[in-house]
Structure 1
Amino acid sequence: MARRQVAEPARRELQLEGFLPYLVNNLADRISTGLSRIYDGEYGLSIPEWRVLANLAEHGVLNAKQIVSTTGMEKSKVSRAVKNLTARGLILQRRKEEDNRARDLALTAAGLALYGDLVPHALAWEGELLDCLSVSEYRDFMYLLGKLRQRATIMEQEPPE
């Protein structure tokens, strides 16, 4: 597929401060680390544990493979997070009838309570972060993120040139 020209002229040198993958990854790391001060400091959750907890709260029942797919985390990180959350009594594992190795995961009452307590803090933190954007900037930003996510998904499926 031919590459379209974007607003900037074609570059011949890579400069990280203007390289989108670097900028987005750096921003994501900073945001994730900043938010982790809430769920790690106040609730003793690691970043992978928070992601597993949040996905189970949003989707109800998932297996580890689905969480890996949804979050993009490595299988070993999901497995460790599931083990830790299970040991803390925050998630319940049930064997799938059709596959003895696979397990359905769901939040326990304690997991739901912790998540319910944590969410207002996380949303307040997000609100403070986004406070620098106007309503239209936020809308445009979310639209552009969605557009880039969709394009990246298409590009993942294309054979390499």
Structure 2
Amino acid sequence: MHEEELKKLYDIASSKQIDCLGEIGLDYYWDTSFNDVQKELFIQQIQIANECHLPISIHMRESTKDTLDILKRYAKTKIIFHCFSGSVETMKECLKMNSLISFAGPLTFKNAKHAPECVQACPVERILTETDSPYLTPVPYRGKQNEPMYVQYVAKKICELKQIDEELLCSQIQTNFLDVFE
């Protein structure tokens, strides 16, 4: 990404053509040779969101410490942790930033490591659901292309883990969503 692209991003963000900046963040999974470049671009994107009063949707993969350090220092807007897959301890740090935690299809997987514990520890007032379509398809459709309508399986799993009524959860998720995007 060059200065020209950042200017274009700022122009789009400031014109109110978008409701959220993201997903933005750090990903050290495949290649760590340009981590410093990623960090600088992440900071610049956060600064655009701050200036344009846009919430940010965070991508954080194998980069927890750097991502959280940057957000704590620079973010002055609402934060959504997209497709959260971190530990309960990491989630608690995210919640200290008054963020929302969004859960997706991996929550329904039998081999889900931290997601069930995170759902149980996360206040319902801070939960969002998503599909990450076309990826991360929830059970019972795992292995097929994900569809937005499959978000219901993520919600059902949250209800099961939190032992709450589905209607109550869906109402709260709608409230949470509107708190970010109104």
| Superposition TM-score, scaled by structure 1 size | 0.27
The structure having more radius of gyration, on CA atoms, is 1
Whose helix fraction is larger, Structure 1's or Structure 2's? Answer: 1
